[in-house]
Chain A
Amino acid sequence: MREREDEWTGLMRSAISGDNAAYHRLLKAIAPVLRAAARRGLARAGQPVDQSEDIVQDILLAVHLKRHTWDANAPFAPWLFAIARNKLIDSLRRRGRRVFVNIDDFAETLPGEPAAETASASEVAAQLESLPARQREVLQSIAVESASIKDTAAKYSMSEGAVRVALHRALASLTAKLREQ
């Protein structure tokens, strides 16, 4: 437990200083923990647990867009769980339930717990359609076709900088749309 969280903190420090691979590893590592917590939250609220993936993606987007609020001298897990808890409460509330989320939902994930299958998520995909064309193209190229920033730039005859800007804007507006729905 402790070790896992120290590892996260280390990965996040590397990520903040520009190590994309460390960032990728960190997000991969936290996703199952978030998924398990989202399932528990949904189950307790009497909601179908197959919606957990929407919540996981919602949390991951928030983690990404708010990562500058993490203090590199503080441990990563409390910051992560605060964001996750906030997003979980929000999405349960949107689903029309008044619920109390226990912070232990996040902290107490047992290492031996079987990793839940990646369920399908529909909310992000649905909001994708409402993005401006350029942002959607860039996002789909990178997300779905796994193209690099460079390849995407070549494909749409954009500069790499413009691709980065379009990608970031796409992620930010996706998050905004998810919040408003």
Chain B
Amino acid sequence: MDTDQLIRTLAADNTRARPVGFVLALALLAAAPVSLLMFFAELGVRPDVMIAMRNPFFDLKFAVTLALATSAILVSLHLSRPEASMQGWGWLFMIPAGLLVAGISGEMMMPQRLPMMTRLVGQNSRICMTAIPAMSLPLLVAALFGLRHGAPTKPALAGAVAGLLSAGLAATFYASHCTDDSPLFVATWYTIATALVTAIGALAGSKVLRF
């Protein structure tokens, strides 16, 4: 087929494609029940949640994880355009990081019953590091599926951001189960779990996000 023939054929095909954001949203909505099922089957919301909600450090966990997920959604949609670079977009990730740092300093200034290391180590580090990656996986698959609809020219980077996105959402679910509310715990174990998912995302992205 010569190029003129191909061009004529392309011009004849006026199928409209859906925007990447739409496909990404649908995919995440389809995957969220799977993660929620895992959550309710294995973990469930902590029993003292009504009391915990009055603790600002409990609420802070959601602010951090949701800020991470939101930033990652915005950045991943940006990266789904071929000419996109991270320039001017990286600062979005300073929001969840900044919230966490603010939380840690806030906690430092208050009198605490438990020593710092005890708060950092917590009691749920093992579950945290398995539950967040496990609940992330269906969401990561969905995010990669959605981004495949785009044209990311930096597939590993886009995959890593998809990892941040799914870890942020999974950590939001997990935060309602976990009884460790210290920002030190969050900064340590949530971060390790998120880093793991981000690495998986980068690896998967470099394979499946090429177009």
Contact = CB atoms under 8 A, between A and B. Distances in A.
Secondary structure of the A contact surface, majority rule: helix
Nearest to A68: B17
Nearest to B17: A68
Contacts of B18: 68
A64 B10 contact: yes
Interface size class of B (residues with CB under 8 A): 20 to 34
Given A23-B11, A68-B17, A142-B8, A124 B82 contact: no
Interface in B12-44: 12-20
Interface stretch (A2-10, A40-48, A53-61): A53-61
Contact of B17 (A24, A27, A67, A149): A67
Contacts of B16: 68
Given A57-B3, A83-B151, A144-B1, A68 B20 contact: yes
B81 A71 contact: yes
A148 B14 CA distance: 13
A69 B12 contact: no
Contacts of A179: 210-211
A90 B210 contact: yes
Contact of A171 (B13, B20, B150, B211): B13
Interface in A52-87: 53, 56-57, 60-62, 64-71, 74, 78-79, 81-83, 85-86
Contacts of B150: 66, 69
B210 A64 contact: no
A167 B3 contact: no
A161 to B, nearest CB: 10
A60 B7 contact: yes
Given A60-B6, A128-B1, 15 more contacts: A20-B14, A24-B8, A57-B1, A68-B20, A69-B82, A79-B83, A82-B82, A86-B153, A90-B210, A121-B3, A143-B6, A143-B8, A165-B15, A171-B9, A171-B13
Interface of B: 1-20, 80-83, 150-151, 153, 210-211
